[in-house]
Amino acid sequence: MSGKTNDKWILEKSKGVLNKNRLPNYELLEEYNNKINDILIGGVFNFDNKEHVNILIKTLNIIRVSIRAQTIYLSCFDLTFNIIQTLKKANNNKNQLLSQLLGEANAALMSFDERKMRSFDSICDIFLNQLKSKKHYYTHSFVNDYNRIVYCSAFRRLQDKAQVFSLEKYDYVRNRLTHSIEVSSIASQLANLCALNIFDDNESMKKNISFQMEKVLSCAALLHDIGNPPFGHFGEDVIRNYFRKNWNNLKYMQYRGNCSVNLKKITEAPCENGELQEWFKKDFEYFDGNAQSLRIALKLQLYKPNHSLELTAAVLGSIIKYPINAYEMDKDKSKFGYFYSERDNIKQLKMENVYKDNIRNPLVLLLEAADDISYVTSDFEDVIKKGIITYEDFVLILDGVAKDNRVVCEFKDNFYKYYKENQDIAVNSPFELTIKRMINDLRNELIDEVVHTFCEHYEQIIKGISINTQDDKNKIQINNNSSYELLDLVTSAPLIKWIKKDIFKNKVFVNKEIVEIELEGYEIITFLLQTFINSVLLLNFNKNNDEFILIDENNRSETIKEKKIFSLISNNFVEQFKKETANLDVNGLEHIYYRFRLVIDYISGMTDNYAKEVYQILRGIK
C-alpha cells in the first residue's frame, strides 16, 4: 500500500492535526434534540438563560460534526435535519445571525458541499463567540479531553499494570500509570519547545500552537498504553501466540432459531470475502496494544451513561502510531494502528484530516519519542534500583563497549567521572546516585536532540512521513541515515540502541525474577483466553423479542458453565458487543470476530493482579 506524501498536514492554522472537533455520536444528537424540544415546550430560546445558551452551543457543535460525517453516519441525517428545522421555528427570524447560521447548516447538510460547510463554520464561530459572553465559562476542548482521561477507570487501572516488573510489591518501581504520567510530561516539553522554535517569528501563533500541541500530546501520552493487556508487552505476545496456534482448530456451536445444530470450525463460518477473513484473523494473530488503546478511547470507556470518552479528533489521531490496518501491513512488520471494528471511525478521522493511510501524523513522532525517552531512562533507573544490575555487572558491560562507538564511550567516561565524585558524597550508594544523575542528563539531552531533529526537518515532516515503504525519500533523512522515527536519527541514537540491547535485552529481560513472572503470566492469560473463548463459541447469541439470549434452554446442562463464565465479563463490554453485532448473522464469521473482540476487550482491560485473581477463581485455587 502506498500513501500520498504531497498532502501537507495543517498545523499552523490549528486544523488538521490540531482539529478540535469531536466525532459524531447518534445518542448525543438524540439527547440534545430532546433537550431542545423540552425547552420549546415552555416557549422560545432565552438567550439570557445560561442553560439554554449552553444547550444551544453544544447542539450547534454537534450539528457541525454530524454534517461533516453524514456520508458515514447516514442515520444522523434525519435527526440533524429535524434539529435544524426545530431551531428555525424556535428562532422565528428573531436572531438574524442564528437564522443565517441555520440556513447555511441546512444547505451544507442537503448538498454536503465543502464550500458551504466552510461558510457554515465561519458563521458558527462568529455566533458561538457572541454566545460565550463573560457570564458563561467554558473549558477548552483539549483540557476537557485531559480531564476525561484522568478520571476514567481504564486510566486508573494502569496503576496495577506492569511497565517492566509485573506483580511488583515495592512501590518505588514504575508501573504503567507512573510511566504514562512521565511520558506525558516529556511529550508536553517536546511540544512546547518545538512550537517555540518553529513559530519563533509569530508570537501569537507561537503561544496558540504551543498550548494546543502541549495539551494534545499530554492527553495522547496518558492514553498511549491504556490498551496494553496484563503482564506488559509479554501479554501481547501471549494473545498473539494463542490465536496463531488455535485459529484453525477453534469450533463454534451453530444455531438455528433457539436450537443448536452442530459444532463447526470457525474457518468454515460464512464470510463475505477472503480479504475480510484474513483481516479478522490478523487482528488477533498480530494483536497490538496500540490498536486496543484506540478502541478503548473510541468505544469502551464511558464518561457518563451512553457516552464514550468522545475525545477530539486531534487526540485520537495522535495516538495512532502505525497508520495502517493489520490486513494491509507489510509481512515484515507486526505493528498496526486499528482493528476492523474501528474502520468507520478511521474514515471519520480521515475526514477530520488527522489520519492519513500510511502517513504518520506529525504529533505521533513526538509522542513516540517521548515514550522511548522514558523507556531508556526511567526504566533503566528502576533496573538499577531493584538490583537487577549491580555496579560490578555494569562495569563488565561498559568494558565491552567498542572504542569506535563515540557516543557510548562518552557515556562510559562520564560514568566513571561521576562515580568517583559520588563516592565521597554517598558512601553507601554511589552507584545509584551516579546512574540517577546520568539518566537525568540523558533525558534532557534526548529532549533537546528530538526538538532539534523535528524542527530541522519540519517542512518534510508535515508533507508526510511514510511508515510502510522502502523508499527513503518518504522518510526523515539525516546524513546517510533515514527513518520514520525521530530517535533513530538523533546524535545519541547509538547510546539508545546500546541501552536497549546490552542493558535490557541481554541483562534485564533474561533475569530470573522477570522470566518467572512472565511464565506465570503466560499460564494465566492462556487459560483465561481458552476459558472465555470457549464460552463465547458455545453460547447462543440470537435475539428473541429484543432480549439478548445466551443459552438454549433445551440444552441447559450443556452450556450452564459457559453462561456463568460469560456473566463475569463486564457489562459495558457486553453492551458494546450488542451494538456491534445487532444486525449480524449469529453463525457468520463477523459475529464470531466480535465475540473474540469481546473476550480481548475484557482480558486486556484486566490489571495484573485481577487477571491472577480471576485465574485462581476459575481454577478453584481461590
Low-confidence residues of the chain: pLDDT under 70:
1-7, 42-45, 69-75, 132-138, 164-172, 258, 331-333, 426-427, 468-473, 479-480, 544-558
Task: Give the three cell numbers for residue 347.
Answer: 474514515
Instruction: Dump the DSSP string for 496-562.
Output: HHHIIIIIIIIIITT-HHHHHHHHHHHHHHHHHHHHHHHHHHHS---EETTEE--S-GGGHHHHHHH
Q: Residue 485: which of 583, 574, 368 has the closest Cα?
A: 368
Distances (CA, A) of 428 to 122, 205, 391: 66, 51, 12
pLDDT at site 528 = 97
pLDDT at site 4 = 45
> 338: Cβ–Cβ under 8 A, 6 or more apart, which residues?
291, 294, 295, 320, 325, 345, 346
Element of type H or E holding 418: helix 406-425
Length of the chain: 622
> 215: Cβ–Cβ under 8 A, 6 or more apart, which residues?
140, 142, 143, 145, 146
> Is residue 325 a contact partner of residue 354, using CB atoms and an 8 Å limit?
no
Task: Give the three cell numbers for residue 30.
Answer: 438524540
Can you give the pTM of this predicted structure?
0.87
| DSSP code of residue 569 | S
Please list the residues that pair with 25 across neighbouring strands. none
**Could you give the CA distance from residue 37 to residue 383 in angstroms, rounded to a whole number?**
60
**Could you give the CA distance from residue 354 to residue 335 in angstroms, rounded to a whole number?**
19
pLDDT at site 248 = 93
Please list the residues that pair with 543 across neighbouring strands. 548
Q: Residue 124: which of 61, 48, 209, 32 has the closest Cα?
A: 61
